[in-house]
Amino acid sequence: MKPQVDRILEGVRPTEVAQLQALAAGQLSLAHLGSLEEKGWVETVAGTTLITLTGRTLLDGAAGR
């Protein structure tokens, strides 16, 4: 059985992880959030962009590889 992180990382493109990393570092334009929001990796609440638990797992999993 694959670990949970491996299942979450399946099908994720390197550019998407790079966008999440840029967002976490405060370097991503808000115009690029559409695809990340569609996949449930980020949410915008009251004008504040938040990385969801799934998005955080992607970042943590990518850092550990």
Q: What digits encode the pLDDT tens for the residues 17-46? A: 888 999 899 887 777 788 888 888 899 899
In which band, very low, low, confident or very high, does the pLDDT at 10 lie, cut at 50, 70 and 90?
Answer: low
Q: What pLDDT sits at residue 3?
A: 55
Contact between 29 and 15 under an 8 Å Cβ cutoff? The reply is no
Q: What pLDDT sits at residue 6?
A: 54
Give the HSE-up count for residue 49: Cα atoms under 13 Å, Cβ half-sphere: 20
Amino acid at 19: Q
**What's the whole-number average pLDDT of the chain?**
80
